[in-house]
Amino acid sequence: MPAATPYADDHTRRRPAVVSCALTPLAEVPVSNIIAINDIREPAEFGDRDFPSALVNVTNVCNLSCTHCFVFRADNPNKPKDKMDDATMLSQLEKLRDKHHIRSMLFMGGEPMIRKNLVMQAMPLFAHSSIVTNGTYGIPSVPGHLVTVSLDGPKELNDPIRGEGVFDKVKKAVFERDPDDGTTVMLQMTVTRQNAPGIEAFVEEVKDWPVTGVAFTFYVPCVDDQTGLGWDDLRDRDAVVDRVIAVKRKYPSRVKTNIGALELMKSDRCLEVTGQHGEHCGLRNGLLPLYMGEGGNFERTFCCYGNDVDCTKCGAYAVFNGAYHRRAGTVEEG
């Protein structure tokens, strides 16, 4: 459940206006020093522990309504009316960074590029920043950073999930970007029972696109999921995981997914990585999810996939890749 806010009545505090020094690079000036007179609310209380990484839903607004999307599930903070102004968000992210020693931040939504200016200002606050976007507003140029662009299969499978015309729009945006701008751009397909038949066709279609590579992750269901997008019997998912392993073997440098991580996702291994209720999950343990909650205040959800998730059927690649690297004593890329 989302963390409670201890000083719910005390969210609005006045800050003095401070003039920034024109000679100091913007990224080195604390955000709290360059915000003009404003009402800046303090961040909610999320305990005292460190989180090496975090995720922030900068907006609950999205221009698409994908069939599999966890963000808009009933149990999650996701109301488009709940908004936090730019100055407050920059200040709160900076404070949470310092308090929890957050080094990596993933900018998400909703669709984060709806607040592109804010995201561009917030990225330098963190040692490592990345974005996951639906790509319909263009691909942001952020040299040195990772941009993950979601596409859920070839056009005939992607568009029934993401919307009519979305595949072509995203393809155009990918081809229009400067491939030498220093941004790492990954395409990501979230595999469900709906689009699983298109894994191989998707790789064949995008293998020569001007991107760094293609990644796969699998559906994360909610408890008692009735969508039909997940696998009731995980042994059926194993066969699909094997097909991702096969495309990785066929195109080892284009498909960035790690076979060792995929092996851990198999039905005979996955519970040791996730636990029944996320008790073994490294992602839940190490990542602070900042959802946009009521009144435009951050709320922490059970994990980055929100509340009410079914960990026993979790297909989040990052969970299994993290476990793989912890076991191997190696370092995750990206």
Ligand X SMILES: C[S@@+](CC[C@H](N)C(=O)[O-])C[C@H]1O[C@@H](n2cnc3c(N)ncnc32)[C@H](O)[C@@H]1O
**Which position among 40, 71, 255, 318 is part of the footprint of ligand X (CB under 6 A)?**
71
Rule CB under 6 A: choose which of 43, 77, 109, 153 binds ligand SF4: 109
- By beta-carbon proximity to ligand X, the closer residue of 35 and 58 is 58
Q: Name the H helices within 207-328.
A: 234-250, 259-264, 270-274, 282-286, 317-328
271 part of the interface to ligand SF4, by CB under 6 A: no
Q: Does 62 bind ligand SF4 (CB under 6 A)?
A: yes
Query: Which of 69, 120, 173, 246 lies at the binding interface for ligand X (CB under 6 A)?
Result: 69
187 vs 213: CA distance, rounded Å: 6
Strands 213-218 and 184-191: parallel
Q: Binding partner of residue 230 among ligand X, ligand SF4, none, CB under 5 to 8 Å per kind?
A: none
**Which member of 90, 106, 151, 220 binds ligand SF4 (CB under 6 A)?**
220
Nearer to ligand SF4, 31 or 314 (CB): 314
x/- track of binding to ligand SF4 for residues 7-46 (CB under 6 A)? ----------------------------------------
Strands 39-41 and 12-14: antiparallel
Characterise 101 by phi-psi region: left (phi > 0), alpha (psi -120 to 50), beta (else).
Answer: left
Is residue 150 near ligand X by the rule CB under 6 A?
Answer: yes
Query: How far apart are alpha carbons 92 and 112 in whole angstroms?
Result: 17
- At residue 189, the 3 state secondary structure works out as strand
C-alpha closest to that of 255 among 195, 212, 296, 295: 212
Q: How far apart are CA 324 and CA 261, in angstroms?
A: 5
* Interaction between residue 66 and ligand SF4 (CB under 6 A): yes
Note the residues at the interface with ligand X (CB under 6 A): 62, 68-71, 108-109, 111, 132-134, 150, 188, 190, 217, 219-220
